[in-house]
Amino acid sequence: MRSRYKDITETLPQQVYNRCGGVFPYRQPGIFSAETDEKGVKIMKRQFKNITAISLKKNSLLFCTCVVCIILISGALTGCSAMKDDQANDNNADTAKEAESIEETAPDFALTDSGKSFLEKMCRQLPDFSDEMDMDEEFWKSFIFFGYTSSVGETVRVYREDMGFDETERKVSEEEVSQYAQLAFGRKLPDIKPALADMAEGQTALYYEDGYYYIGVSDFPDLQYVYENCEIYEDNDYTYALVTYTVNFEDTENVGTVTLRIRPADNENKFVITSKVTDM
C-alpha cells in the first residue's frame, strides 16, 4: 500500500512536468536558477491558459449536450402527457358511448302493462333457474304443470282409480305448450312426454297422451306479486334487465322478492326470460 501511494505521488508531478514542456511549475531550490524559474513561470502561464481554453471548450460542449438532452426529455414528457390525455379522452368517449348504448336499449325494456302481467304470472308459475343448464326434464314438467294447473281453458273429467274419484284436468295441445315456451324462453319445448302410468299414486295429474298434455286443476297459495323496478345492464355488448317483484302473503307485505332476468327479443313481449331467483 505504501509503495502504491509513493508511485502515485511521484507520478503526478512527473505528469505535470511532461505537460509543461519539461519545466516544473514550482521552484525547487538548489536545482533551477532564477532565470529558469522565470522562464518556467511564463511557460506555465501559457500552458495553463491553453488548458483553461480547452477546458472551457469541453465544458461548453458538455453544457450544450445537456441542454439538448433536457429539450429532448422535455419534449418526450410533453408527448407522453399528450398521449395520456388522448387516452383519457378516448376512455371518456368509450364510457359515454357505452352509456349512450344503454340509453338506446332502454326502450326495449320499457315494460308494457301486458309485459308486467306476463312476468307476474311467471313469478307464480316458473320454477327458479339460473341458466339453460338448469332447464332439465324436471324443470320443464314444473313449467308445464304450474303454467296450466290454474289457467282458464278446456277441461275434462278423468276417473282416477288410485284416488277413487273423477279428477278435473286441463287439456292443452302440445303445440300450445310449445308456443308458450317459445314466448317465455325463446326456445322450443323439448321432447317431454310423461306417461300416466308413471305418475305416483295420488299425484295431481301431469301426463301426455295423443298430442295433448293433461294437467290436474289446483290452486296456488295466496301470494301476491307487486312490480318493484326494472334495472338495465350492459355487459360486453350483452344487454339485459333485472325485473324485481315484491312478494306479499295474505295480510303480510314484503315477505320476499322475485327477480327475473330478461333480454331483448323479437316477440310479443319484446323480451325472453333467462333466469329467475326467489328470495323468501
Residue 253 forms part of a structural domain: yes
173, β-bridge pairs: 212
Which residues form the domain of 50?
11-109
Both 156 and 239 in one domain: the answer is: yes
Both 97 and 120 in one domain: the answer is: no
Both 129 and 172 in one domain: the answer is: yes
Residue finishing a domain among 88, 109, 130: 109
Strand order in the sheet with 223-235: 223-235, 238-249, 252-264, 271-279
Residue 242 forms part of a structural domain: yes
Residue 186 forms part of a structural domain: yes
Both 151 and 54 in one domain: the answer is: no
Euclidean distance between CA atoms 225 and 248, whole angstroms:
6
Both 178 and 245 in one domain: the answer is: yes
Q: What is the pLDDT of residues 22-67, one digit of tens each?
A: 444 433 444 444 444 454 444 444 444 454 444 444 455 555 555 5
Residue 1 forms part of a structural domain: no
Reported as a pLDDT band with limits 50, 70 and 90, residue 20 is very low
Residue finishing a domain among 79, 109, 139: 109
262 and 272 in contact (C-beta within 8 Å)?
Answer: yes
Residues 6+ apart with CB under 8 A from 116: 227
Both 162 and 257 in one domain: the answer is: yes
Both 256 and 174 in one domain: the answer is: yes
Query: How many distinct structural domains can be found in the chain?
Result: 2
pTM: 0.61
Vertex 222 angle, CA 155 and 260, to 5°: 90
Both 143 and 61 in one domain: the answer is: no
The pLDDT assigned to 234 comes to 86
Residue finishing a domain among 82, 109, 136: 109
Q: What is the pLDDT of residues 214-225, one digit of tens each?
A: 999 998 888 999
Which of 176, 184, 119 is closest to 152 using CA atoms? 176
Reported as a pLDDT band with limits 50, 70 and 90, residue 116 is very high
* φ/ψ bin of 122: left (φ > 0), alpha (ψ from -120 to 50), beta (otherwise): alpha
Residue 171 forms part of a structural domain: yes
Both 104 and 156 in one domain: the answer is: no
The pLDDT assigned to 111 comes to 84
Q: What is the pLDDT of residues 185-210, one digit of tens each?
A: 999 999 999 999 999 999 999 999 99
Residues 6+ apart with CB under 8 A from 188: 178, 181, 182
Q: How far is CA 228 from CA 18, 122, 245, 260, 275, in A?
A: 99, 15, 5, 12, 17
Residue 3 forms part of a structural domain: no
Both 88 and 114 in one domain: the answer is: no
